[in-house]
Amino acid sequence: MNASAFPERFLWGTATAAHQVEGGNWNSDWWAWEHDPASSCIEPSGDACDHFHRYREDIQLLAELGFNTYRFSLEWSRIEPENGEFSIAALDHYARMIAACREAELEPVVTLHHFTTPRWVAARGGWANAETAKLFGRYVERVMAQIGDQIGLVCTINEPNVVATMGYLVGLFPPGERDFSRRTAANDTFIDAHRRAVEIVRAAGPKVGLTLAMSQWVTLDGGEEAVAALRDPYEDVFLAAARGDDFIGVQTYTRTRVGPAGQLGPEDGVETTLMGYEFWPEALEATIRLVWEETGHVPVLVTENGIAAAEDHRRIEYVRRALQGVRRALDDGIDVVGYTHWSALDNFEWVFGYGPTFGLIGVDRATQERVAKPSAHWLGDVARSNGSLGLETS
């Protein structure tokens, strides 16, 4: 492959989410969910990676590894702990994180909502309540007033498709409901919240988009109707809502096979990851192409991609192949602006707890000691060389 086919100023980074790394996020619906015996959570998040206190060292380490970007999220339940009551201390904390990124020469990519919702919002009906879009808008106004001039890129809502589906249809995320019409209501509220946030963020200066969980759909014979039924409320409605945005965040982990009876498990003989997903790095390229077409050419930022793996060399192989796909997409003229790997640190993987390790950097759960894995050094070198080293076909 040719050296350095990546555009100048391509963003190379890693991603985290507040609740998965900060620790002590007791005021969110997820903390309550983790401690609810009715949930399927296998363990609580606890101190997580104590990133709330250790962010400076973590950001420094990411910069030393060679990255130029860090994607992280703000925790709404810290910034607005009760209805209309804003914490200046929490806002100052995130302003310090942004400043730490700037000092380390990492472009901050800031997500405003990553799965967690303040308990007081959840108590008012959460995302199935249309009013939540207005509450979210007020929070975004307050955040932008404080830090809008310090950031270049803002993701409004992380994977609203997952939160709506897992929380209101599948019952695995809070509030644990299983009702198709409640999922539709949550979709609608998320789309309204996103549109409001886009206006507010744009007025403050940064570029703005949402991020979506995407999958490479593989339709087996007779599965056409089933795949359309799955895709429409999960993907298509949000792709339509993202048209005209400054970028769209693509988050892809694997492919999904669908037959006449619906979604199928992994194909016999295909390697699986610790999440039970098929090891399928080419899914990233397929979803970038799909998103580019479906949104009418909104620039793509890969906001998440990676695997949970005990054997780190499988992560390197996965990311190498995924990035080769990104390069093919670029070669075909698709505007891919960056890649933030999921994840910087081994962290709290929601209902699955600390078992699935997605991190480039390992975290000792007792001492919080960080150890950069070989994949961290490898991807950092890829980043430093702007993709001209490390991506050769093996």
Residues of this chain that interact with ligand GCO (CB under 6 A) are 17, 20, 158-159, 213, 251, 304, 342, 349, 358
Distance CA 379, CA 384 (A): 9
Tally: H helices and E strands in the chain: 14, 11
Residue (146 or 273) nearer to ligand GCO, CB? 273
Report in angstroms how near the CB of residue 251 gets to ligand GCO at its nearest: 5
Report in angstroms how near the CB of residue 185 gets to ligand GCO at its nearest: 21
Report in angstroms how near the CB of residue 193 gets to ligand GCO at its nearest: 17
If we measure between CA atoms, which residue out of 216, 217, 208, 290 comes closest to residue 242? 208
Residue (20 or 39) nearer to ligand GCO, CB? 20
Distance CA 360, CA 46 (A): 21
Report in angstroms how near the CB of residue 99 gets to ligand GCO at its nearest: 25
Distance CA 17, CA 74 (A): 8
Residue (146 or 216) nearer to ligand GCO, CB? 216
Q: Residue 98 is which amino acid?
A: I
Residue (21 or 226) nearer to ligand GCO, CB? 21
Residue (34 or 223) nearer to ligand GCO, CB? 34
Report in angstroms how near the CB of residue 347 gets to ligand GCO at its nearest: 7
Q: State the residue for tokens 């593989």.
A: 218
Tokens encoding 195: 């549109």
| Cα end-to-end span (Å), the chain | 11
Q: State the residue for tokens 């492919």.
A: 255
Stated as kind and residue range, the H or E segment containing 231 is helix 224-231
Report in angstroms how near the CB of residue 65 gets to ligand GCO at its nearest: 20
State the residue number with the nearest CB to ligand GCO.
Answer: 159
Residue (20 or 324) nearer to ligand GCO, CB? 20
CB 304 within 8 A of CB 342: yes
Tokens encoding 184: 């539709």
If we measure between CA atoms, which residue out of 235, 74, 80, 248 comes closest to residue 160? 235
Report in angstroms how near the CB of residue 342 gets to ligand GCO at its nearest: 5
Residue (112 or 226) nearer to ligand GCO, CB? 112
**Total count of residues recorded for the chain:** 394
